[in-house]
Chain A
Amino acid sequence: MDLFNNLALGFGVAFTPVNLMYAFVGCFLGTVIGVLPGIGPLATIAMLLPATYALPPVSALIMLAGIYYGAQYGGSTTAILVNLPGESSSVVTVIDGYQMARNGRAGPALAAAGLGSFFAGCVGTLILAAFAAPLTELAFKFGPAEYFSLMILGLIGAVVLASGSLLKAIAMIVLGLLLGMVGTDVNSGVPRFSFDIPELTDGIGFIVIAMGVFGYGEIISNLGKHESEREVFTANVTGLWPTKEDFKNMVPAVLRGTALGSLLGILPGGGAVMAAFAAYTLEKKTPLRPGEVPFGKGNIRGVAAPESANNAGAQTSFIPLLTLGIPPNAVMALMVGAMTIHNIQPGPQVMTNNPELFWGLIASMWIGNLMLIVLNLPLIGIWIKLLSVPYRWLFPSIVLFCAIGVYSTNNSTFDIWMVGLFGFIGYLFIKLGAEPAPLLLGFILGPMMEEYLRRALLLSRGDWSVFITRPLSASLLAAAALLLVVVLLPSVKSKREEAFVED
C-alpha cells in the first residue's frame, strides 16, 4: 500500500521526541497568544514565525503546525467565550458557541470544537495522503465561472446564518460585498472608495470589521441594557464535558462537517473559507431532534460542524497548496512564506523531489492536531474560570485587547479610528436588527467574486450564458436556486400562518 508507506515515511521523519517537543511548544504558544481576543491565527503565526527560523526544516514545520492549530483553537475559544471571531471561520462558531457559553455550557462547546477538529484533522490527513494526486484533477475542472457560481451558492447559504428577516440578510451580504470593494482594484490599479486616504487603498481589514462589529457593537449594546436583562453568563456552569445527549447530536454533525470541509478544502481560492459556513448551513437545514436546542440559541451541532469542517478544509487545502502552489487563505500564505524560508518551494515537485519533507509535513500537521487535544482538553477548566470574571472588569479588558490587536496587525492608528467607526456601525446594526455574520462572509468573498466574474466573462467575451452552459457551473447555480427556494418556503409559510391568525 502506497498510502501506508507514505505515511510511515512521514511519521518516521516527524515522530521524534525533539519534534514532539517542538509541536507541544508551538501548540502551547499558539494557544496562549491565539486566545487573546483580537489576535487571530494570522497575527499569531506572523508574530511567532521568526521563532522557527533557526530550526531545521522539519522541526520548523512541525512547530508551525503546532502554532497553527493552537492559534486556530485559541481563536475558537475567544469566539465561544467572549463572542469575538478572530478569523473568518470562527464567525460561524460565534453564533451558537457564545450562546452555549451564556447558558453555562462553555465546557461542552469547547470540547465539541476540540474533538470535532481532531476527528476532522485525522480524516483530512488520510484523504490528503490517499488522494492528493487524483483530487488535484477536480480542482482543475473548476474554471472562473464555476468559482463564481460556487460563491453565489455560498452566499445564498449564508442567508441561513441569520435568524431574522431573509431580505435583510441578503442586503447585509451585498453590503459586505460592497465593503470588500474598498481598496485598490487589482486589475486597473484604481483606488476605489478610498477618499484619498492612503490607508484605505489597502482595503479595510477583516480584523477591523470583526472587532468593531462583534466586539464593540456587542459591548455597547450589552451596557445599554439594564443589568437584569444583560446578555452575560449564567453563574452555574453545568459540566465541562459534553453529555451523552450532546455526543448523540454532535457525532453526525462532525461527520457531515468533515465531509463538506474535506470536499471544499480541495478548491483553491475560497473553498476552505466557505467550509465552515456551508457546514453550518447544512446543519441548520437538518431537522432538529426532539428536545434539541434551536440554532442560534446554543445548539452544539452549530459549534461541532463548522469547527470540523474548518479543520478538514484546512487539511485538504494543502492539496491545492502543495500541488498547484496556490495558498487557499492568508494563514496558508504565511505557511508558504515559512516554507520558502526553509528552501521548500510549494508546487507539484515537492511530492516527488522531496518525499520525506512532503510526508513529514503531512505527518506533522497530524501531530500538531494531536497536541492540540492533549493540551487543550485539560485547559478547558481554566478557560471556563475566565467567565467568572465580572462583566464590569471584563468589558474594559475586551475593549483594550481589541484595540491592541487591531493596532498590532498594521502598527497603524488609522485602524484604531476605523474600529471605532465600525463599533458604532455594529451597534447600529444591532439596533436595527440586522445580523452581521452574513456581512462578514460577503466582505471576505467580495474581491474574489469580482475577480472570478471578470475572468469568466473575459474568457467568454462578455457572454453571460457561460454560467449556465458549463455543466458544473450550471448545477452549482441550480443548487443555489434550490437553496433559495428552500430558505424562502418556511418564511412564506409562517407569514401565511400569521395572516391566518389575524383573520
Chain B
Amino acid sequence: MNIKSQKDFFSGLMFMGVGVAFAWGASGYSIGNGARMGPGYFPLVLGVLLAVLGGVITFKALVVETVDGDKVGAFAWKPLVFIILANLVFGAMIGGLPIIHLPPMGLIAGIYALTFIACLAGDAFKFKEAVVLATVLAVMSYLAFIKLLNLQFPVWPAFLGV
C-alpha cells in the first residue's frame, strides 16, 4: 500500500494519536452521565471524535489520489532549532534555571542572547549586524517596557544586586 497524500497521512496519524491520548487521559477522571457530567465526559467524547476523524483522514490519504503526492518535505531544522532555542534561552535568562545553577540574568542579557541565537537561524550570520540589532532592541525594550510601562522584569543580572 502506498501513501497517496503524505501530509494528510501524517496529520491523520497525529490527530489519532492526540485523540487517543486525550481520551485515555479523560478516562482517568470521573465520567458521570449525561445529566451530571464529570470532568472526563466532554474530553472523552472529543478525544474519541478526534481519533475517528484522524482515522478517516489517514484512510483517505491512502485511497484518494493527489496530483503530486502532497509531500511533507524536509524539515527546516536550522531555523526550527535556533528560533526555539533563542526563545528558551531568553526564558532561562529572565527567570534563571536552577537545574544548571543559572541565576536570573535579566532582560538585557536575555535580549542579547535571544538576538544572537535567532540571527543564527537566518541565511547569513553577520556578527556586527547582530550586535547592532541586539543593542537597538535592548535600548528600545528598556525604554518601552521598563521605563514607560513599568513592567516588573528583572533587568540586570541578579548577582549584581541592582
Cα distance A412–B96 when bound, in Å? 11
Asked whether, in the complex, the Cβ of A407 is within 8 Å of the Cβ of B111, the reply is: no
Tell me the smallest distance from the CB of B149 to a CB of chain A, in Å.
5
Cβ proximity bits A401-435 to B, threshold 8 Å, 1 near / 0 not? 01110011001110011011001100110011110
Q: Are A174 and B122 in contact (CB under 8 A)?
A: no
Which B residues are in CB contact (< 8 Å) with A481? none
Give the contacts of B31-83 with A (CB-CB under 8 A).
33-40, 42-43, 46-47, 49-50, 53-54, 56-57, 60, 64-65, 70, 72-73, 75-76, 78-80, 83
Whether B155 is near chain A, meaning CB under 8 Å from some CB there, is no
A15 at the interface (CB under 8 A from B): no
Select which of B25, B38, B83 is within 8 A of A193 by beta carbon. B25
Whether B121 sits at the interface, judged by CB under 8 Å, is: yes
Give the residues in chain A near B26, CB-CB below 8 Å. Answer: 192
- What is the distance, in angstroms, from A442's C-beta to the closest C-beta of chain B? 9
A403 close to B46 (CB less than 8 A): no
A400 on the B face (CB < 8 A): yes
- Whether B90 contacts A416 by the Cβ 8 Å rule is yes
Q: Which of B22, B54, B92 has the most CB of A within 10 A?
A: B22
Q: Which of B101-127 contact A (CB under 8 A)?
A: 111, 114-115, 118-119, 121-123
With A and B bound together, what is the CA distance between A47 and B26 in angstroms? Answer: 37
Q: Is B141 an interface residue (CB 8 A)?
A: yes
Contact A47 B149 (CB under 8 A): yes
Q: Is the CB of A167 within 8 A of B83?
A: no
Most B CB within 10 A of own CB, among A420, A432, A457, A461:
A432
Say yes or no: is A168 at the interface (Cβ < 8 Å to chain B): yes
Report yes or no: B33 in contact with A416, Cβ–Cβ below 8 A.
no
Give A190's nearest chain B residue, CB to CB.
B39
Known A-B contacts A171-B54, A416-B87; A457 and B39 likewise in contact (beta carbons under 8 Å): no
Interface residues on A, range: 35 or more
Measured CB to CB, the closest approach of chain A to B135, in angstroms, equals 12
Q: B53–A216 contact, CB under 8 A?
A: no
Could you say which residues of chain B place their CB within 8 Å of the CB of A454? Answer: 37, 42
What is the distance, in angstroms, from A320's C-beta to the closest C-beta of chain B? Answer: 25
A220 engages B53 (CB within 8 Å): no
Q: Which residues of B contact A462 (CB under 8 A)?
A: 33-36
Interface centre among A168, A227, A419 (most CB of B within 10 A): A168
What chain A residues lie within 8 Å of B75 (beta carbons)? 224, 431
**Would you call B133 and A221 a contact (CB within 8 A)?**
no
Kindly provide the distance from the CB of B2 to the nearest chain A CB, expressed in whole angstroms: 17
Q: Are A416 and B91 in contact (CB under 8 A)?
A: yes
What is the distance, in angstroms, from B22's C-beta to the closest C-beta of chain A? 5
Contact flags A483-500 to B (C-beta < 8 A → 1, else 0)? 000000000000100000
B151 contacts chain A at the CB level, 8 A cutoff:
yes
A221 neighbours in B (Cβ, 8 Å): 76
The secondary-structure label for the interface of chain B is: helix
Given known pairs A216-B83, A404-B141, the reply for A399 and B118 (CB within 8 Å) is yes
Chain B residues with CB below 8 A from A458, complex form: 35-37
Contacts across chains A and B counted by CB atoms under 8 Å:
192
**Does A219 sit at the interface, judged by CB under 8 A?**
yes
Q: Mark B5-25, 1 if CB is under 8 A from A, else 0.
A: 001101100110011001001
CA distance A464 to B33 in the complex (A): 12
In contact, B35 and A396 (Cβ under 8 angstroms): no
- State whether the Cβ of B157 lies closer than 8 Å to any Cβ in chain A: no
A430 to B141, CA, bound (A): 30
* Docked complex Cα distance between A279 and B16 (Å): 32
Closest CB pairs A-B (n = 3):
A224-B76, A462-B35, A416-B91
Contacts beyond the supplied A192-B39, A393-B133, A403-B114: 6 A-B pairs with Cβ under 8 Å: A167-B56, A181-B22, A216-B87, A395-B121, A408-B153, A411-B152
Chain A residues with CB under 8 Å of chain B are 33, 36, 47, 165, 167-168, 170-171, 174-175, 177-178, 181, 185, 187-188, 190, 192-193, 216, 219-221, 223-225, 227, 392-393, 395-397, 399-400, 402-404, 407-408, 411-413, 416-417, 419-420, 423-424, 427-428, 431-434, 449-450, 453-454, 457-458, 460-464, 495, 502
- Show 12 A/B contacts (Cβ-Cβ < 8 Å), sorted by A: A188-B39, A192-B43, A220-B83, A227-B123, A393-B133, A400-B115, A403-B87, A408-B153, A416-B95, A427-B76, A427-B80, A458-B37
Q: Interface of B with A (CB < 8 Å)?
A: 7-8, 10-11, 14-15, 18-19, 22, 25-26, 29-30, 33-40, 42-43, 46-47, 49-50, 53-54, 56-57, 60, 64-65, 70, 72-73, 75-76, 78-80, 83-84, 86-88, 90-92, 94-95, 111, 114-115, 118-119, 121-123, 129, 133, 137, 141, 144-145, 149, 151-153
